[in-house]
Every structure is written in C-alpha cells, then in structure tokens.
C-alpha cells in the first residue's frame, strides 16, 4: 500500500512535469515587437465561436502577433472573469471578448484596462464603460427587422409565430427580440401574432424539445424565428421529424454548414448571418491597431483592417463607440452550397 | 485517550513514509509543485501580487466550501448551493434597486440564504426516507427558478461603489485582498467549530455512525437542521462576494458551482461516505483547486490552445488517496 | 444454500418493489391528468410516442447509472462519454459514408466500453473515490472530444442519410429508439435478476465486507459496472448524434445530472445496495414528462424551472408517504 501511494505521487509528479514540458513551445523571436492578444469566447466547443477564432488568428498572423483563444467550458460570466484575471496576471497586450453578461464582466475588464490592457468586445457587447471599442456584426435593429420581414413573406403576413431563443439572459438575443417585437407593432404586420418566446438554452435536446412543444401547445402556429445557431438547427430538425415541412415556416440566424441539410430539405427556406470568420478577423485587426496606438477609440478615427479595407469608428447608439462589420447575409437554397464548407 | 493519540502521533511522525500518507502533505507538495511549474512557464507567475490576486478569483466559492465540508462529513450532500447563491444574490440586488439601503439588502440576501438552507434542513430531517441528494436536487431547481421568476431575463446592478470592495479591495495600502482575510478568519472559525466544540464532535459522530449517535443521545435531526441552515447562510456569504465581483446580479449566476464546491471539499480530504479519514484543522480547502485552475489557465496561455486541460483532469482524478483511508482502517483493525 | 438465499432475495425484492413503484405510478398518472386538462394534445398517442422517443436515451443511461449507484458509486462522466462516442461516430460516418448504420452502434458500444473500462480501472484498481475519479474523467473525455475534433463539428449534411434515418425507422412496428430501449431493458433485467453476477452487484453494494468474505471479486464487479455504464453511454452517443443530426464537442453538457435524478427519483438509494429496474424506468419517464410536457403547458418560461423543482419535490414526498402507508 505504501508503494501504491508513493507510486501515485510519482505518477502525478511525472504527469505534471510532462505536461509542463510541452508548455514551452510558443516563443516568438522576431525583430519586430510581437504583441500578445487574447480572445475570450462565450464557451468552448461552440461552432460560431470557433469560426470567429479562426478569423482572429488569421488577422494576428499577418502581424506576427501571438493569438490566444480561450473560453470557459460552460458559458458563464464567472468563467470569463477567471480568464480575464489570468490575462491580467500575464500582462498581455489586449483582450478581445464576447461577453456572456454585458454587466458582470465590467469590473474585471476595468481592472484590466487599469493595468494597461486594451479591451475590445465583439459579437455580444460589454457595457460601454468596460471596453474601448465594440466590433459590431450588424445593426441589431436591422437584424431584428430582417427576420420579421423574412417570416412575414413566408407566411403571407398572417398567422401565429413564436420565437425560440438561446438563454433568457443573453444580451444579443434579447436585443434582437426587442427589435423584432418593435417591428411587429408596425401596421403591415397586424395579421401576425407573436404568441410566445421560449428558451432552448443553446442545448440541442432542450431546443428540440421546446420546438416540439411549440407545435403542440400552439396547433395554429405558422412560423418560428430562432435567432441562435443551435436553436435554428434544432428547430429545423424538429420540423422535419414532425413532418411539418411547409406547414411551419422557419427562419433565424444560423451557420450555413449546420443548416445546409435543412435548407435543402425545405425545413428552413432562408436564414441570415454575417461572416463569423470576418467578425473575428475584424476584431483581431482592431485589437492590433489599438495596441500599436494607430487608433485610440475615438469617434471618426480610421484604420486599415487588412483584407476588409478601411473601417471607421462610429458612435454606438447604446453607448460608447463601435466598428461595424457590415450587413447580415441571406442564405437560401440558391447559395447554401457555396457557403456550407466555409463556416 | 489524549495520551494515546499523542503517542500514536509521535510513533507515526518517525515513519518517513508517513508524510506521503497524509493527504494534507500531498496537497501542500502539490501546491508547491504546481507553483514551481507555473513559475517556470511564465515569468510573471511567481510574484506575490500575482499570487495574492489569484486567490481573489476562486475564494468566493471558499465560504460555501467551508460549510459544505460539514454537510459532507454528515454523509449528506447539498447540490442546491449554487441556486441558493443565485437566489440570495437576486434578492439582495432587487431589494437594493427597490430603494432599500445596501446594508439592509445584504442582510436580506443573508436571510434568504439562511431560509433556503433551513427549508432544505426541514425537508431532510422531517422526511427521513428522502436522501439529501434528491431533496436538494429539487430545491436546486426551485431556488434558481424563484430567482428567474423574480428577475426574468433582466440583470440588476449599480451597487454603491463601496460594495465592490468586498471582492476587489485590498487591506489598506498592502496587496492583501480583503476577501482573503475574511476567508482565513472564517476558515479558522469553522476549524474551531469543527474540532474544538461539542457541536463539531457531534457532527463527526453523526457522520460516522448515524444509528449509534441517535441511540447515544445525539440530537441528529437538530444537527442536520443546523448544518443545512449554516450551509444556506454560507452560500449567501459566497453570493455577496460573487455579486460584488460581478457588480450585478442575474438569475443564472454561479451556474455549475455546486460540482466545483463539492469537488473542492472531497479533494480536501472529506469522505463522501460521511466522516473524515484524516482529522485536520480547518484547512483552506479552496486553495489547491484554485491553484490548479490558475496553473491550468497559464498552461493554456503558454500554448495558446485549450487542448491540454485534460492533463489537469488527470492529476485531479489520480490524486485522491482512497487507499490511505483503507490503511487507516486496517491499522485500527490490527489493534 | 446460496442458491436458496438468492432465490429468496429475488422473491423479496420483487414483492417489495411492487409496492415501491406505486407512489411514482400514481404521481405520474396524476401529473398526466393535470397536464392533459391544461392541454388536451398531451394525451394523444402521437405525443406519448414523441415523449417516449425523447426519454429513451435518458432511460438507457439511467439503467447503467443504477448499477453504478447500487455499488455505492456514482458516475459523473457519462455525458462526456456520450459526447466522445458521438463525436467519434460522427467523424467516422463523415469519412466512411458507405458504412452501414448498424456498424455505428457497435462502434459506439466499443468506444463507450473502452472509456468505461478506464474509469472502472481507476475506481476498482486505483481505489480512487468514484465521485473524484469520474469527475476527473468527465474532464478527460470532454477534453479528448475537443482534441479529437479540433473544435470542429459534424453537420447534418456531412452525415449519410442512412445514419440519420436510423433513429427514425421502425422495427416490427416499434420505433427504433424505443425498440433499442426495450431490448436493453430486457437484457439488463435478465442480467440483474437472473444471473449470479447480477446479484453479486447488489451484494457488493449492500455490504462490501460481507461480499468480500463470501468470495465475491469486488474489483471485478466494480470494473464490470463502470464498463457497462460506459457502453450504455457510448450507445446513447450514437443514438443522440443520429437523432439530433449533429456532433459537437459540447454535446449533452450537464446530462449526468438528469441521469442521476432519474435514478434517485426511481428509488435507487445513493447509499448503495438497492434499486430496481422499473423504478429507474419510472424515474426516467417522470423526468421525460417534465422535460417534454412543460413546453406544452402554456406558462411563462421563467416559471418553468421552479415548477420543475416543485414537481420533483412533490413526487418524492408523495412517493415517500404512499410507501409508508403501503408498508403499514
């Protein structure tokens, strides 16, 4: 028994040393100063986030900067704060973050900024006081309106619709839903009725169950809007399984690669998304420009964002400043094959 | 009795191998190793400021951990802790935003936590057929559910600026975090409660042998009630620090904390079968886990990818020396 | 002598357990009536079929979890094993589109058994406490899923049609998923109640020392139980990926809690030594109803979580009270 315990201990030490041994790989020795920029995503294993990370790394590679891609294993603000603290201790140059909670990460990010770290938010914004710039994928109002318009055309401006969202506390989704509701108040949509908003928590089985539940709880349901990638794919799967293709229409925000199957079989006629690779790329470019001092985060400043060309810092209507990526892109049967292998 | 234990202690001290058989020692050695490796990986790691700051990140859980040790020593488990934290935090935030003073709001939060714990305690001691795991599994949903009912999809914040001192402040001009001082204070208090009071001994007795304790006049039901209520109170204390750290509150804070808290306690040497295999002082259970985390994070940092965190899990899982427990039992039997 | 006592135990088990389920059955019926009153769609054949379909994966895993809990253990790594097996199978069918769907089931079983065997080895031979060992392995398997997939995910359009249709076909007029679940339950029922090894699992759980003295190989039993749990999780992984037509590295995050809840609701004692097959089935069905029926009842989504907790609490309390009455 004594032997076992010593053996265990030896094993542990060996393991620790072995794993630390592989920890010393990334050493950049270039004449030019290489910066270290960390990206904090909502959670690991999320396809959308992975795509953003790809673009981010691509952008930093152009300058020889070091990119760190990190996220908590469950998408919580607490996990993100731990990573932020870590980054502060490591004295990295900039943090690019998509917040799980716009408010909760602010104190930690303020501490980071006090330590001289440049903070940029992308995708899900951080409250204005916790960041220098926000990289905005597209105007929230536009995103909301586009989905309602698409749905209205599909169901001919009349009938019951429902929204299948991610978590109840998601900043982005809540903003979009708010604008969707606002858009629905418009007279031309008077025949449409939003019956409920349900939350699938971005879990595949729960989203699927919620979608199935919608068909039964609201037998007259004509359409579902799912402004989240997991929810949209799960809803499409549910519509297919329930044999409701054509009877219940579906639109929302989703990844082409995930949705290719469902767009082709008609469960989802069309959906929207911006290019997540470009979004990560732009965030990386902006972070580098901030670190070099090319921009400081004032309205009107311009910089060259690599392959995306010149970008300007503009005012963010919700506070602070932002950089716009562009407009949401519409995916349907005609163009899905082109995009499904890209992201 | 005392003489006997002293003699045993002295006898054991002379066995060199004994230090390897004492879990605390292994923990301490591990902490040293982990820190040494960290220092090797990152030039920034081994400075006092960094290390002290590191404690701030994980200590908010520490308060709940202290009480969880009691619960697990009893042979019970409480998986509603994270939900109690969420509910206390939400109640506190809502009270403040409704115009109640901050101090009163904090008290409201503490009261909420205590009541939640009390409710758990009542259910568990009233319905003896129900195991604590099923009761707290349901109250886990209930408490967080109530938080959702209260706050919905909103988040409430804008606390007075002094409130952020709890989680972000330092003592005077030094670099010692306020939370660390409070935690050490609490840890000592809990250590005394567990090891130097009759209450603490009764908790051990109940955990080691429920029936025997019941028949020898230990008020087991009352003990359970008190321990679960204490658990609720300490969860609320954790909630205050966490809320201060986040600067705002919403129903989904502390998601998944229950597993982490339980893991820290079990890693700290408390057996889930009730009782403890090594009597020890109120050791800061939270430390090893936290340093593991930091270590893990730094390793990630230096490799700029996330694929290595399963190594960390390896150490994590291999480290619990159940065999030591059996050794102790064997020794007892030999006598 | 031993045989007689085993038979006797079996008889007692069956007799008592008949009573044990009553409270839960009663509650499930009550709950169904309440939900049915609120939404008549609930009590249709179509919906009950949907509900059973959604419950199968949980029910299959809960069966393995029961055996683990009976030996006084717990397995927190099940959801990670599910994800790992699902991801590997997803990558497999993506690469080998021609592979018949039935092969994937065996691949899933093999991967799951392998993972389970490792966990079992750590618990049985390493003498590591199950909660800690499986907590660690939970991270290990989840980490491996990340590593192997490289953060990628397998999409619906990358999977062959035959694989996706697998869980949507029916065998002898029974849906494939339900068929598999019935099959698993029959096999396990026989294994648990009518084989020596099956009864030994209970012996190890109710009194390890006595079991050891009577010559039961405890290490073997533990190893077996975790391996079985792993193989069921692996199977569940294949079914999951086929049903939801997507393999991601964060698949089934947090499912272990539902599985444990199903067991505990079904009367499996966390202190080991007791737990019945149909208790677990009833527990799984109750969890299935909660997951499945709450979306049907038109209530604010913010009330759902609290309601879920209340239903579980009331269920266990009613069960406890009825059981007490019946025993008297």
Please spell the DSSP secondary structure of C103-170, one letter per residue. Answer: HHHHHHHHHHHHHHHHHHHHHHTS---HHHHHHHHHHHHHHHHHHHHTT--B-GGGS-HHHHHHTTSE
Q: Are residues B114 and B199 in the same domain?
A: yes
Q: How confident is the model at residue B50 (pLDDT cuts 50, 70, 90)?
A: low
Cβ distance A213 to C294 less than 8 Å, yes or no, reads yes
**Among residues B242, B262, B284, which one ends one of the domains?**
B284
C110 touches chain A (CB under 8 A): no
Q: Are residues B133 and B214 in the same domain?
A: yes
Q: How confident is the model at residue B270 (pLDDT cuts 50, 70, 90)?
A: low
Does residue C17 form part of some domain?
no
Does residue C15 form part of some domain?
no
> Is residue B317 predicted with pLDDT exceeding 50?
no
Does residue B68 form part of some domain?
yes
Average pLDDT for A289-310: 85
Is the CB of residue C49 less than 8 Å from the CB of residue C229?
A: no
Average pLDDT for A282-311: 87
Query: pLDDT tens, A251-271?
Result: 999 888 888 888 988 899 899
What is the reported pLDDT for C8?
59
Report d(CA A324, CA A311) in Å as an integer: 8
Cβ distance B312 to C324 less than 8 Å, yes or no, reads no
Query: pLDDT tens, A94-127?
Result: 999 998 888 889 989 999 999 899 999 998 888 8
Q: Which of A268-272, B157-161, B264-268, C303-307 has the lowest mean pLDDT?
A: B264-268
Instruction: Report the SS3 class of residue B70.
Output: helix
Cβ distance B299 to A19 less than 8 Å, yes or no, reads yes
What is the reported pLDDT for B86?
95
Range of the domain at C55: 2-9+23-327
Q: Are residues B138 and B257 in the same domain?
A: yes
Does residue C55 form part of some domain?
yes
- Which tokens in the block code for residue B100? 């109640």
What is the reported pLDDT for B244?
92
When divided into structural domains, chain C yields a total of 1
Residue of B310, B311, B327, B328 to mutate, interface with C, max C Cβ within 10 Å: B310
**DSSP code for A306:** G
Q: Are residues B237 and B115 in the same domain?
A: yes
> Is residue B308 predicted with pLDDT exceeding 50?
no
Nearest residue on chain A to B154, alpha-carbon basis: A169
Report d(CA B220, CA A178) in Å as an integer: 53
Does residue B109 form part of some domain?
yes
Domain of C181, CATH number, reads 1.10.3470
Could you report the average pLDDT of every consecutive run of 10 residues in chain C (328 residues)? 55 54 84 87 84 91 94 91 94 89 92 94 81 78 81 84 86 88 94 92 89 90 95 95 87 86 86 86 91 81 87 86 76
Chain-centre distance for alpha carbon C158: 28
Does residue C185 form part of some domain?
yes
> Is residue A176 predicted with pLDDT exceeding 70?
yes
Nearest residue on chain C to B75, alpha-carbon basis: C271
The pTM assigned to this predicted structure is 0.82
Average pLDDT for A3-25: 37
Q: Is A335 exposed, middle or buried (0-12, 13-18, 19+ CB in 10 A)?
A: middle
Nearest residue on chain A to C41, alpha-carbon basis: A216
> Is residue B285 predicted with pLDDT exceeding 70?
no
How close, in Å, is residue B251 to chain A by CA atoms?
Answer: 8
Cβ distance B248 to A101 less than 8 Å, yes or no, reads yes
Q: Are residues B79 and B220 in the same domain?
A: yes
> Is residue B287 predicted with pLDDT exceeding 60?
no
Q: Are residues B206 and B95 in the same domain?
A: yes
Question: In chain B, what residues touch A45 (CB-CB under 8 Å)?
Answer: none
How close, in Å, is residue B302 to chain A by CA atoms?
Answer: 6
On the CB side of C63, CA atoms within 13 Å amount to 27
Average pLDDT for B201-216: 84
Does residue B294 form part of some domain?
no
Q: Are residues B122 and B252 in the same domain?
A: yes
Is the CB of residue A227 less than 8 Å from the CB of residue A179?
A: no
Range of the domain at B19: 1-33
Q: Are residues B171 and B248 in the same domain?
A: yes
Residue of B129, B256, B317 to mutate, interface with C, max C Cβ within 10 Å: B317
When divided into structural domains, chain B yields a total of 2
B33 touches chain A (CB under 8 A): yes
Q: How confident is the model at residue B334 (pLDDT cuts 50, 70, 90)?
A: very low
Q: Are residues B127 and B1 in the same domain?
A: no
Does residue B150 form part of some domain?
yes
A241 touches chain C (CB under 8 A): yes
Does residue B302 form part of some domain?
no
How close, in Å, is residue C109 to chain B by CA atoms?
Answer: 23
**Which of B276, B40, B127 has its CA nearest to residue C316?**
B127
Nearest residue on chain C to A237, alpha-carbon basis: C244
Nearest residue on chain B to A104, alpha-carbon basis: B246
Give the closest of C146, C153, C244 to A205, CB-based. C244
B160 touches chain A (CB under 8 A): no
How close, in Å, is residue B306 to chain A by CA atoms?
Answer: 7
Q: Are residues B79 and B164 in the same domain?
A: yes
Q: Are residues B232 and B171 in the same domain?
A: yes
C127 touches chain B (CB under 8 A): yes
Q: Are residues B161 and B261 in the same domain?
A: yes
Give the closest of B33, B299, B315 to A23, CB-based. B299
Does residue B275 form part of some domain?
yes
How close, in Å, is residue C280 to chain B by CA atoms?
Answer: 14
The interface predicted TM-score of the complex, written ipTM, equals 0.81
Does residue C16 form part of some domain?
no
Q: How confident is the model at residue A275 (pLDDT cuts 50, 70, 90)?
A: confident
């Amino acid at each position: 028994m004594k032997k076992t315990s010593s053996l265990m201990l030896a094993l542990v030490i060996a393991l620790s040393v072995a794993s630390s041994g592989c920890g010393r790989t990334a050493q950049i020795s270039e004449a030019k100063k290489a910066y270290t920029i960390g990206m904090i995503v909502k959670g690991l294993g999320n396809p959308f986030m992975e795509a953003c990370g790809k673009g981010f790394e691509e952008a930093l590679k152009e300058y020889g900067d070091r990119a760190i891609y990190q996220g908590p294993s469950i998408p919580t603000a607490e996990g993100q704060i731990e990573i932020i603290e870590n980054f502060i201790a490591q004295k990295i140059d900039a943090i690019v973050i998509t917040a799980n909670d716009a408010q909760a990460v602010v104190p930690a990010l303020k501490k980071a900024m006090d330590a001289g770290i440049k903070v940029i938010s992308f995708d899900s914004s951080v409250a204005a006081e916790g960041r220098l710039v926000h990289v905005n994928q597209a105007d929230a109002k536009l995103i909301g309106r586009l989905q309602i318009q698409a749905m209205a055309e599909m169901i001919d401006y009349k009938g019951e619709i429902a929204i299948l969202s991610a978590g109840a506390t998601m900043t982005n989704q809540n903003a979009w839903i708010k604008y969707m509701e606002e858009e629905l108040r418009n007279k031309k949509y008077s025949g449409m009725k939003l019956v409920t908003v349900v939350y699938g928590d971005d879990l595949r089985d729960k989203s699927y169950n919620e979608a199935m539940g919608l068909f039964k709880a609201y037998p007259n349901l004509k359409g579902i809007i799912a402004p989240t990638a997991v929810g949209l794919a799960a809803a499409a799967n549910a519509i297919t399984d329930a044999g409701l293709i054509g009877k219940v229409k579906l639109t929302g925000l989703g990844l082409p690669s995930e949705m290719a199957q469902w767009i082709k079989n008609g469960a989802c006629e069309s959906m929207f998304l911006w290019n997540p690779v470009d979004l990560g790329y732009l965030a990386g470019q902006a972070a580098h420009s901030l670190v070099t001092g090319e921009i400081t985060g004032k309205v009107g400043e311009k910089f060259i964002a690599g392959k995306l060309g010149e970008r300007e810092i503009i005012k963010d209507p919700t506070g602070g400043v932002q950089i716009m990526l562009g407009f949401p892109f519409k995916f349907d049967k005609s163009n899905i094959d082109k995009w499904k292998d890209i992201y | 009795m005392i003489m006997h234990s002293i003699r045993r202690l002295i006898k054991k001290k002379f066995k060199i191998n004994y230090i390897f058989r004492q879990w605390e020692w292994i923990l301490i050695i591990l902490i040293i190793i982990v820190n040494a490796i960290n220092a090797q990986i990152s030039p920034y790691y081994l400075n006092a400021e960094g290390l002290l700051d590191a404690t701030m990140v994980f200590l908010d859980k520490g308060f709940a951990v202290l009480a969880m040790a009691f619960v697990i020593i009893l042979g019970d488990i409480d998986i509603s802790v994270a939900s109690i934290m969420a509910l206390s935090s939400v109640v506190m935030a809502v009270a403040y935003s409704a115009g109640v003073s901050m101090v009163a709001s904090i008290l409201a939060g503490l009261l909420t936590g205590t009541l939640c714990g009390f409710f758990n305690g009542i259910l568990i001691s009233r319905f003896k057929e129900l195991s604590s795991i099923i009761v707290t599994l349901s109250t886990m949903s209930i408490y967080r559910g109530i938080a959702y009912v209260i706050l919905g999809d909103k988040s409430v914040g804008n606390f007075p600026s002094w409130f952020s001192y709890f989680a972000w402040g330092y003592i005077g001009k030094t670099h010692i975090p306020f939370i660390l001082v409070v935690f050490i204070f609490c840890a000592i208090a809990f250590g005394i409660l567990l090891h130097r009071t009759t209450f603490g001994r009764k908790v051990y007795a109940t955990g080691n042998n429920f029936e025997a304790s019941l028949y020898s006049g230990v008020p087991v039901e009352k003990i359970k009630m008190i321990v679960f209520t204490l658990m609720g109170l300490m969860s609320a204390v954790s909630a205050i620090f966490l809320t201060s750290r986040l600067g705002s509150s919403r129903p989904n804070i502390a998601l998944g904390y229950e597993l982490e808290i339980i893991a820290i306690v079990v890693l700290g040497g408390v057996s889930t079968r009730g009782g403890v295999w090594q009597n020890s002082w109120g050791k800061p259970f939270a430390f090893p886990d936290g340093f593991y985390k930091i270590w893990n994070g730094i390793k990630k940092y230096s490799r700029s990818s996330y694929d290595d965190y399963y190594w960390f899990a390896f150490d994590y899982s291999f480290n619990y020396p159940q065999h030591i427990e059996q050794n102790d039992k064997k020794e007892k039997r030999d006598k | 002598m031993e045989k007689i006592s085993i038979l006797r135990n079996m008889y007692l088990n069956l007799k008592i357990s008949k009573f044990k389920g009553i409270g839960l059955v009663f509650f499930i019926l009550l709950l169904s009536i309440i939900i049915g009153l609120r939404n008549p769609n609930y009590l249709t054949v179509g919906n009950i079929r949907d509900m059973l379909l959604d419950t199968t994966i949980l029910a299959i895993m809960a069966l393995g979890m029961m055996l683990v809990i009976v030996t006084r253990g717990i397995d927190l790594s099940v959801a990670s094993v599910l994800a790992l097996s699902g991801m590997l199978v997803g990558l497999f069918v993506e690469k080998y589109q021609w592979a018949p769907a039935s092969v994937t089931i065996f691949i899933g079983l093999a991967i799951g058994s392998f993972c389970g065997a490792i966990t079992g080895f750590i618990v049985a031979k390493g003498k590591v406490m199950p909660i800690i060992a499986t907590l660690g392995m939970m991270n290990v398997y989840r980490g491996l899923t990340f590593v192997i997939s490289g953060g990628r995910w397998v999409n619906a359009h990358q999977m062959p049609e035959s694989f996706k249709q697998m869980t949507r076909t029916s065998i002898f007029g029974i849906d494939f998923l339900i068929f598999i679940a019935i099959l698993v339950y029959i096999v396990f029922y026989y294994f648990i109640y009518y084989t020596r090894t099956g009864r030994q699992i209970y012996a190890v759980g109710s009194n390890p020392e006595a079991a050891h003295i009577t010559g039961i190989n405890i290490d073997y039993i533990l190893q077996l139980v975790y391996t079985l749990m792993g193989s069921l999780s692996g199977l569940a992984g294949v079914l999951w990926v086929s049903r939801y037509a997507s393999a991601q590295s964060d698949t089934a995050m947090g499912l272990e809690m539902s599985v444990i809840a199903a067991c505990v609701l079904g009367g499996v004692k966390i202190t080991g030594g007791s737990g019945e097959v149909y208790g677990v089935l009833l527990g799984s069905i109750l969890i299935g109803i909660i997951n499945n029926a709450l979306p049907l009842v038109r209530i604010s989504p913010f009330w759902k979580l609290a309601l879920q907790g209340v239903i579980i609490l009331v269920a266990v309390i009613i069960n406890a009270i009825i059981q007490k009455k019946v025993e008297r």
